[in-house]
Amino acid sequence: MHLLVVPTCCLSSTSPHPQLPKLPRPLPRSLGHSASPRFGVPFRRAVAAPAMRRRGRRRAAAPPPTAAAAGEASSGSPGPPGGEDKRAGTDLKTLARRFWKVAAPYWWSEDKAQARLQLAGVFALTLATTGISVGFNFLGRDFYNALADKDQEQFTKQLLYYLGGFAVGVPFFVLRDYARETLSLRWRSWMTSYYMKRYFKNRTFYKIQSQSLIDNPDQRINDDLSAFTGTALAFSLTLLNAVVDLVSFSNILYGIYPPLFVVLIVYSLGGTAISVFLGKSLVNLNFMQEKKEADFRYGLVRVRENAESIAFYGGEENELQLLLDRFRRAYQNLSELLIASRNLEFFTNGYRYLIQILPAAVVAPMFFAGKIEFGVINQSVSAFNHILSDFSLIVFQFQSISAFSAVIDRLGEFDDLLGENGSSLSPRRDSIDGINISFKSGSPSVLSSNGSQMQSEPGIVLEICDLTLLTPRGGNILITDFNMELKDKDHLLVMGPSGCGKTSLLRALAGLWTSGTGDIIYHARDSRQLQTATLGSNEPSNIKPEGEELLQSSKQRRDNGIFFVPQRPYMVLGTLRQQLLYPTWTANIHQSPTNDAQSKAPLSFLSEVSTSDGVGAKPEMPSTDELIRVLEVVRLGYILPRFNGMDSVHDWASVLSLGEQQRLAFARLLLAKPTLVLLDESTSALDDTNEVHLYSQIEAAGITYISVGHRKTLHRFHNKVLYISKSDSATGSLRNWELKPTDQKSIEESSPFAS
């Protein structure tokens, strides 16, 4: 009986403790087990769920949904990220649809020729390894026949054949795995580029975050795409392998003893049914584990990013309690996952061990009767295990399949959200989204949407007509029937109590919020030519052409001379030079021949950075001397020696104070030379002297600006003041704003809206 067990261990990878050699099996590795720890697929056969958990430990920060547009006039706050403890299951039809929708685009993309060629090579190598496995099946039969017959000469001959087979076969298995992982990496690279472009196109990233549509989109791009591509290829090759194995080994097994083939069919079908019953909860548990661990990870990252604020508040105990609460949710879900996995393992381990003796037990009576040789027993055991592995894919890989189903579900949900119609991004569009944002050219005449010639009035920079602004989700009224014309060199100050909608007005002017009614028309002035963009199929239908061209992207807004400076400027990852050139010349920097990463990029689709169709003219990129000069203008020249010049890399949001960041934002503004700039409390961290200096610099540059602020000292830099009060009218019939010139006497005392 000892001899009967030896060939099973040597020639079958279905053994719980496989030993070398593994060549007779077409897939010596478990599904998705990659030699590359960086890009490999985080699934292991029979330990898929623990691997998914390990992947959760190293994922990047994945911010949960937050309230729609933080700050003033928030449209509501969603529940806590970890609050969703249960989730309805996804049916098989939806999973299949989502799998095809996620997987198919690459194979018909611009990289399809190379992709299909590589896939054909992987399939060819897979067929070759299956042929080698069949050859080893016959070699094993003759080898053990010689051993049983004590034929030393034949044994030596078969041993040499075995060693020669190893020498020939090993490269095929290694090359097959390498080709599969290389294709997986290429597929992942294309999908990462594809999803990131869709994520940033038309400010989708902002809409997802502000409307709390899904959790952790960054985790889906980084981790789930990696898991999807590698595991999809592994499963596809396993299915191909299974079909070839069935054809190759079924004839062998049926020819040895037909009843053994019947036993195999019954055993595998019964095992599959029981596995599905015991493991049906694993898909949803894996889905929720991904979400809960990402939420916990994000909480830790927030502590790191806001360490100083937490320390000032003395909020350590609060943060500890919040993090422990998030971990508790992950722990509870993981406990349920482990219980479900344990119940499944009780069955699958028994299923694996029993097949070591089952085929030998069935054919042993024929050996005792002298009808077959000993080597045939070994051959039948090997063939049985091959075919049973093919029939029992669901049994052996159920945890991997359930984890992969969760990945498909998460990516499919993300892909549906990024779909071309974009309907998920604005569920209330039909009822409240009606603000039209457009541009007029400064040329003598332009053609309107009805075919008539329209003249752009001299000196006008911005027109706002009958604007009623609502919050995107709640539909609360912020501003009612607002009308205004802003001419060149006019400077508008927006004031009012906190929460009245001052920043929300800037969001509407920037095209971030379109909830409400009315028209916002920008006029391209001077030497600027109207930069147009082609309307995409996924562009929101509420932004309609009113003048020459409609607003479609933030890039188009910048190209037409509109610039935005927030209260806390965004500090990009990169050098001081990149901080100054952001966002106007960022693409030029990344496309520079001096950029090593760019020049060495092997895949063309990783080199594309544009997320909009509009390509507008921009000023020539400033020289280093000009960058140094503008730093001196905003009184930041001292940071050059402090940080070793323009090309040093630091965490600028941490090493620069908020006041220094605000001055750096003004340096960006002066370099970009826009027609109109929107300033959202952009000098709140500056002293009066620096505030006066910066406003005088942008006024001297001939830039028209709109400022949001609370300080009364801001009046001196503006010739118009817009006061906004909180709207108490449910119908919005009462006007809640007042527009006055700043030279009016006692303006603060006379206005009921003064702050």
CATH number of the domain within which 503 lies: 3.40.50.300
**How would you write 528-582 as a 3-class SS string?**
CCCCCCCCCCCCCCCCCCCCCEECCCHHHHHHCCEEEECCCCCCCCEEHHHHHHC
Question: CA-to-CA distance for 352 and 338, rounded, in angstroms?
Answer: 20
More confident residue, 354 or 700: 700
> Does 591 share its domain with 495?
yes
Q: What is the pLDDT of residues 230-241, one digit of tens each?
A: 889 988 888 887
Across-strand partners of 68? none
Give the pair of three-digit tokens for residue 549: 């061209």
For every residue of 384-450, DSSP letters joined together read HHHHHHHHTHHHHTHHHHHHHHHHHHHHHHHHHHT-TT-GGG-TTHHHHEEEEEEEE-SSS-EE-TT
Give the pair of three-digit tokens for residue 401: 């399949």
Work out the burial of residue 220: count CB atoms within 10 Å of its CB; fewer than 13 is exposed, 13-18 middle, 19 or more buried: buried
- Listed in sequence order, the residues at least 6 apart from 383 whose beta carbon sits closer than 8 Å to its beta carbon are 137, 249, 252, 253, 256
- Domain end among 392, 422, 452: 422
Handedness of CA 346, 348, 351, 352 (dihedral sign): negative
Question: CA-to-CA distance for 194 and 188, rounded, in angstroms?
Answer: 10
> Does 379 share its domain with 448?
no
Residue that has been written with the tokens 């409390």 in this structure:
681
- Domain end among 396, 422, 448: 422
Angle at 744 between CA 739 and CA 746, to 5 degrees: 105
> Does 463 share its domain with 402?
no
More confident residue, 451 or 264: 264
Question: CA-to-CA distance for 239 and 27, rounded, in angstroms?
Answer: 11
Handedness of CA 569, 574, 577, 581 (dihedral sign): negative
Residue 493 has pLDDT above 80, yes or no: yes
* CATH code of the domain containing 164: 1.20.1560.10
Question: CA-to-CA distance for 198 and 206, rounded, in angstroms?
Answer: 12
SS3 704: strand
Contact 423, 537 (CB under 8 A): no
Portion of the chain with pLDDT greater than 90, in percent = 18
> Does 417 share its domain with 533?
no
Taking residues 38-65, report their average pLDDT: 36
Distances in whole angstroms, Cα of residue 662 to Cα of each of 242, 515, 665, 703, 705: 62, 30, 5, 18, 16
> Does 707 share its domain with 616?
yes
Q: Which residues of 176-212 are buried (b: 16+ CB within 10 A; e: fewer)?
A: bbebbbebbbbbbbbbbbbbebbbbbbbbbebbbbbb
> Does 448 share its domain with 364?
no
Q: With bands split at pLDDT 50, 70 and 90, how would you rate the model's confidence at 553?
A: low
Task: Tell me the pairing of strands 562-565 and 676-680.
Answer: parallel
Taking residues 176-189, report their average pLDDT: 92
Contact 466, 519 (CB under 8 A): yes
User: Hey, what amino acid is at 359?
Assistant: P
SS3 67: coil
Taking residues 187-207, report their average pLDDT: 88
CB atoms within 10 A of CB 306: 14
Question: CA-to-CA distance for 548 and 533, rounded, in angstroms?
Answer: 11
Taking residues 491-508, report their average pLDDT: 89
Q: Which of 288, 166, 162 is nearest to 215 (CA)?
A: 288
Residue 635 has pLDDT above 80, yes or no: yes
Question: CA-to-CA distance for 670 and 635, rounded, in angstroms?
Answer: 13
- Listed in sequence order, the residues at least 6 apart from 321 whose beta carbon sits closer than 8 Å to its beta carbon are none
Question: CA-to-CA distance for 273 and 523, rounded, in angstroms?
Answer: 68
> Does 276 share its domain with 339?
yes
In a domain, 184, yes or no: yes
In a domain, 29, yes or no: no
Work out the burial of residue 429: count CB atoms within 10 Å of its CB; fewer than 13 is exposed, 13-18 middle, 19 or more buried: middle
Q: With bands split at pLDDT 50, 70 and 90, how would you rate the model's confidence at 754?
A: very low
Q: Which of 208, 215, 416 is nearest to 299 (CA)?
A: 215
Average pLDDT across the chain, whole number: 74
> Does 475 share its domain with 351?
no
Phi, psi of 339 (to 5 degrees): -65, -45
Residue 23 has pLDDT above 50, yes or no: no
In a domain, 40, yes or no: no
Residue 522 has pLDDT above 50, yes or no: yes
**Domain extent for 394:** 2-11+109-422
> Does 366 share its domain with 444?
no
In a domain, 20, yes or no: no
In a domain, 558, yes or no: yes
> Does 418 share its domain with 436?
no
For every residue of 504-527, DSSP letters joined together read HHHHHHHTS---EEEEEEEE--TT
More confident residue, 552 or 280: 280
Q: What is the pLDDT of residues 615-626, one digit of tens each?
A: 455 668 889 999
Give the pair of three-digit tokens for residue 481: 């029937």
Note the pLDDT of residue 242.
Answer: 76
> Does 143 share its domain with 125?
yes
In a domain, 26, yes or no: no
Q: What is the pLDDT of residues 274-298, one digit of tens each?
A: 887 887 788 788 878 888 888 888 8
The structure's pTM equals: 0.69
In a domain, 384, yes or no: yes
- Domain end among 378, 393, 422: 422
Question: CA-to-CA distance for 414 and 217, rounded, in angstroms?
Answer: 7
Give the pair of three-digit tokens for residue 568: 């806390």
In a domain, 46, yes or no: no
Number of domains in the chain: 2
Taking residues 206-226, report their average pLDDT: 84
For every residue of 107-166, DSSP letters joined together read HTSTTHHHHHHHHHHHHHHHHHHHHHHHHHHHHHHHHHHHHHTT-HHHHHHHHHHHHHHH
Residue 531 has pLDDT above 70, yes or no: no
> Does 608 share its domain with 655?
yes
Contact 675, 706 (CB under 8 A): no
